[in-house]
Amino acid sequence: MIVSTEQQPVHLAGSVLDRKRHVCAFFHTRDEEYRVLMPFIAEGFDHGDRAFHIVDPNNRADHMERLREGGIDTESAERDGQLTVIRWEDAYLRDGHFDQNAMLSLIEHVLTEGKTLGFPLTRLVANMEWALEDRPGVEDIVEYETRLNYVLPKYDDAVT
DSSP code at position 140 = G
What percent of the chain has pLDDT above 90?
Answer: 81
pLDDT at 1: 42
Q: Using an 8 Å Cβ cutoff, are 25 and 160 in contact?
A: yes
Confidence of residue 22 (pLDDT cuts 50, 70, 90): confident
pLDDT tens sequence across 31-55 = 999 999 999 999 999 999 999 999 9
pLDDT at 140: 96
pLDDT tens sequence across 119-159 = 999 999 999 999 999 999 999 999 999 999 999 999 989 89
Taking CA atoms, 41 is separated from 62, 124, 136, 144, 150, in Å, by: 15, 9, 31, 24, 24
Helix orientation angle between 100-116 and 141-151, rounded to the nearest 10 degrees = 30
Residue 150: Cβ within 10 Å count: 9
Top pLDDT among 22 and 81 is at: 81
Give the C-alpha separation, 160 to 22, whole Å. Answer: 6
15 alpha-carbon distance from chain centroid: 18
Q: Look at the alpha carbons of 8, 11, 16, 21 in this order and tell me if their dihedral is positive or negative.
A: negative
pLDDT tens sequence across 83-115 = 999 999 999 999 999 999 999 999 999 999 999
User: What pairs with residue 85 in β-bridges?
Assistant: 53
